[in-house]
Structure 1
């Protein structure tokens, strides 16, 4: 399965047809999806019809855009006009939007083909791959284990070579968690970089973006999908450079801070070793300055818990008050807990968020990048919400306790990527998180492109990609 840039170039050069690529994806989905649970609805006939049209247009010298004829998986949280969007919930199985989300409209405008909707946890509420709609997402490296979530199907489909690329969303780590567990690249950009719509009750945390096999694929997609949209009041202005072009420039002498952990969180020894070895290679072989630094930040878990539970619980609780028995019990618990949050609690959490964000931004007055483990834990059983050593509890945000390195940068709005940096002794990929100052996604992508060249991972294939 080619990556995005390779597929687009092959189609444009006449070396591969869009029909043959779509057919390959459909065959791989047919073979592997019963095990992996990556896809829900697959639009086989529509995708082949679009691919035939793309091939006719290509033969006539007409090109829809840079992604002409390339098939994609779409997280089933994004609105797709005329196509069912279940949001991973039994309460939304008949939901068919009238309009495309901005990211979908731009992907189609660039010439891409929507192949199918990828699995997500219910309304994207948790970081596991637990799903009663799609079946629990399975890790392509070990199918007894979780892929992570909530962009579970998108990460699985890219890692297992079911599609060249996929779209996901990230409100607390939802592209980086499965990206790290599945061994692919995923960047959560600065808040508002890719516009989001419809409105989310956790809009101050929610980001949209791609999951890809290579850094350059991600840079290309951010070039194509970024920019303002009148429906998103947080959307950022057009950026003034190509991030794909940045990936090919010589690496500046970035000042890189390396943190072994945050908030005194214990890190799995195998993950710690892989990250430490990666940082040593970075210091020795890349033209950057690496300093060890342990931020003395206090965990903003309470603030995140209030914003996440309050926003999602109140919004969905109001809309689904007569269908609570059809919800994932954990999500129903979150809705119940939201009733304990009052306006004073919510405003206090916003104030705490601002104070924490200020601390993060102050760090980037001194350094250009922060590198650290993406996650402190290895993948656990696919039928669980949490690792076995952590009780599932009843707060509704247990997932945030085992992902303490991802959601803080949703609170602060900083760009944060996960990139494969090694493997555990059991052969599971380990993710290195690379965080940049606000609006400096170009720095993150350029550094990650250099790291990808230093420590390539494309030759490492999970069993389900073979």
Structure 2
């Protein structure tokens, strides 16, 4: 049986109709049932989870209410530092690293009364995967275990899509929340750059990294963001911008909103599938029928966004790992090593030009969003490829459409809009104005309802 939504679980807890311990034991049973075949978890913290749950039950019984995540089980991508619990980054280089302090988000979730179930599989250092030469196996897509779940928040998406948790935290540097959300049929929210603290999360590219949740529903994502959003003076990139009420307008629908589609991003791409095109068109028509104005818009070419993002990402990633690349190259998995080494070829001039271009691309998106409340576009051009597809074919068959909004920092939400004939999910992105996650989530909620995704059962 599927777990109740975060909101429904909260109502049941406060009405005395369930307990956090009962929710936690149900989640642990689901993990025991499905994780051996899916490899979502690297470290299961069963004792910690039960202790968290019992504490939450005692507090709620005594009248202490920490908010909407009080007593709710969740899990963390294994790049989030957790005091006393290893944080491996799915790598041999950190397989025994046990942080002394929580990351900012882990501390916020603990303060909110959440129940930590454990740490989740990723790609090595959030870039190297899927790979079979690492200390832990790659996570597998619960809709079809022969297909990849994408990455790098792979375990997070798999844990949610298989019903192990309603919410798992991920990170997104080029699409690492939205891509696995699209491939696994979950909601994935990359908030605005600076909206959620990244302190204590192992970096991939400090100017592109974002933290956010993967969830079963848009409402679950809104509830989670309400808890973790806010200024952190100890994160240099954290923005001191007021946090909106993400739930109050969630059910308002889209009547009167203006939505743009940068169709050239995906319509003529060589790898795009007809099922993805049909999914976007069906969603656009449903939004029109619900009262929104939906029109095609023009942005700079997707390849320009992609090249800009890759130059920044690879140069920063190499700088972070340069010492280990020189002293312990044999301890990296092959995929991560080959991707990091590309950063050594990027010149200082390349980086300066990419940063200049980033400003121009951000201005272009902002100019479009001066006329539209949000954009919708593909999350990826095709559903999840198979593990055994050749690497070149996989890249050509299912390129992702996510990196533009890491470059620009706009909030972006991947929402499932249906299944292919082969039974694999298709995702669509909703992109909002800077720090307007409220409208982004509102449109995502309408998409979820209008496409009927909320009525589609989990794969297991």
Name the CA distance, whole Å, in 2 between partners of 1:134 and 1:42: 13
Instruction: Identify the residue that residue 221 of structure 1 maps to in structure 2.
Output: 224
Instruction: Identify the residue that residue 24 of structure 2 maps to in structure 1.
Output: 22
Is 1:206 aligned with 2:202? no
Q: Which of 406, 411, 429 is the aligned partner of 1:410?
A: 406
How has the CA–CA distance of structure 1 residues 457 and 389 changed in structure 2, closer, same or farther, with 3 Å as cutoff?
closer
Cα displacement string for residues 170-227 of structure 1 (whole angstroms, at most 9, x for unaligned residues) = 0110110010011111111110000111473612111001111111111111111111
Is 1:247 aligned with 2:250? yes
Is 1:182 aligned with 2:184? yes
Aligned residue pairs, count? 454
Q: Which of 336, 342, 348 is the aligned partner of 2:347?
A: 342
Q: CA deviation at 1:429?
A: 1.2
Contact map agreement 1:139 1:146 (CA 8 A) in 2: yes
Name the CA distance, whole Å, in 2 between partners of 1:357 and 1:206: 16
Cα displacement string for residues 376-399 of structure 1 (whole angstroms, at most 9, x for unaligned residues) = 0221123568463547xxxxxxxx
Is 1:460 aligned with 2:453? no
Instruction: Identify the residue that residue 447 of structure 2 maps to in structure 1.
Output: 451
How has the CA–CA distance of structure 1 residues 458 and 389 changed in structure 2, closer, same or farther, with 3 Å as cutoff?
closer
Q: CA deviation at 1:240?
A: 4.7
Instruction: Identify the residue that residue 97 of structure 1 maps to in structure 2.
Output: 99
Cα displacement string for residues 299-346 of structure 1 (whole angstroms, at most 9, x for unaligned residues) = 223322221111101211224422211212121122322222222221
> Quick check: 235-244 or 65-74, which moved more?
235-244
Name the CA distance, whole Å, in 2 between partners of 1:121 and 1:360: 30
Q: CA deviation at 1:21?
A: 0.9
Find the residue that maps to 1:81 and give its secondary structure.
coil
Contact map agreement 2:229 2:243 (CA 8 A) in 1: no
The unaligned stretches of length 5 or more in structure 2 are none
Name the CA distance, whole Å, in 2 between partners of 1:49 and 1:240: 31
Find the residue that maps to 1:124 and give its secondary structure.
coil
Name the CA distance, whole Å, in 2 between partners of 1:129 and 1:178: 16
Find the residue that maps to 1:145 and give its secondary structure.
coil
Q: CA deviation at 1:354?
A: 1.6
Contact map agreement 2:125 2:204 (CA 8 A) in 1: no
Instruction: Identify the residue that residue 436 of structure 1 maps to in structure 2.
Output: 432
Q: Which of 288, 292, 317 is the aligned partner of 2:292?
A: 288
Contact map agreement 2:208 2:406 (CA 8 A) in 1: yes
Name the CA distance, whole Å, in 2 between partners of 1:106 and 1:23: 23
Name the CA distance, whole Å, in 1 between partners of 2:308 and 2:243: 34
Instruction: Identify the residue that residue 259 of structure 2 maps to in structure 1.
Output: 256
Contact map agreement 1:256 1:368 (CA 8 A) in 2: yes
Instruction: Identify the residue that residue 80 of structure 2 maps to in structure 1.
Output: 78
Instruction: Identify the residue that residue 316 of structure 1 maps to in structure 2.
Output: 321
How has the CA–CA distance of structure 1 residues 162 and 423 changed in structure 2, closer, same or farther, with 3 Å as cutoff?
same
Contact map agreement 1:39 1:134 (CA 8 A) in 2: no
Contact map agreement 1:151 1:168 (CA 8 A) in 2: yes
Residues 117-266 of structure 1 aligned to structure 2 (within 5 Å): 117-126=119-128, 128=130, 132-198=134-200, 200=203, 202-249=205-252, 251-262=254-265, 264-266=268-270
Name the CA distance, whole Å, in 2 between partners of 1:106 and 1:308: 28
TM-score by length of 1: 0.92
How has the CA–CA distance of structure 1 residues 130 and 435 changed in structure 2, closer, same or farther, with 3 Å as cutoff?
farther
Name the CA distance, whole Å, in 2 between partners of 1:459 and 1:450: 13
Q: CA deviation at 1:40?
A: 0.8
How has the CA–CA distance of structure 1 residues 421 and 32 changed in structure 2, closer, same or farther, with 3 Å as cutoff?
same
The unaligned stretches of length 5 or more in structure 1 are 392-400
Q: CA deviation at 1:276?
A: 1.4
Name the CA distance, whole Å, in 1 between partners of 2:211 and 2:302: 27
Q: Which of 332, 336, 340 is the aligned partner of 2:337?
A: 332
Instruction: Identify the residue that residue 361 of structure 1 maps to in structure 2.
Output: 366
Name the CA distance, whole Å, in 2 between partners of 1:290 and 1:364: 13
Cα displacement string for residues 111-159 of structure 1 (whole angstroms, at most 9, x for unaligned residues) = 1011100110001015757672331221111111011110011111111
Contact map agreement 2:384 2:398 (CA 8 A) in 1: no
Name the CA distance, whole Å, in 1 between partners of 2:294 and 2:323: 49
